[in-house]
Amino acid sequence: MAHIIEATDATFANEIATNELVLIDFWASWCGPCKRLTPVIDELSQRYQGKLKVIKIDVDNNQTITEKYEIISLPTLLFIKNGECLDTVTGFVPKATIIEKIESLL
């Protein structure tokens, strides 16, 4: 079973306070491409369990974090390690593209 954390403005800082690579999925319930990306994120969460922490942020309910990272398009994936944003992927992309990013950052 995939272990994906549903973070909020209040819990976000705690969740990224790790030296583990963190994949953050900024999404919204009304976003079609976000819905298409969900099974990919679920699969990657399982595949990289123990190596990658996966967090989802609902942009409609978490404006502070959404604004802090200047999220203007959905879906947006951020890759953070030690509190630093290392890379960003915007829009629906093939699973292979996300795997490439993860592999290059692990």
> What is the four-CA torsion angle of 81, 82, 83, 88, rounded to 10 degrees?
-20
Q: Which of 4, 34, 71, 89 is catalytic?
A: 34
Question: Other CB atoms closer than 10 Å to residue 47's CB: what's the count?
Answer: 13
Q: Which of 28, 31, 86, 99 is catalytic?
A: 31
**Residue 34 annotated among the catalytic residues of the structure:** yes
The residues, any chain, with a CB within 8 Å of residue 78's CB and separated by 6 or more, are 22, 23, 24, 26, 69, 85, 87, 88
**Residue 85 annotated among the catalytic residues of the structure:** no
What tokens appear for 55 in the block? 């967090």
Rounded distance between C-alpha atoms, residue 7 and residue 10, angstroms: 8
Catalytic residue ranges: 31, 34
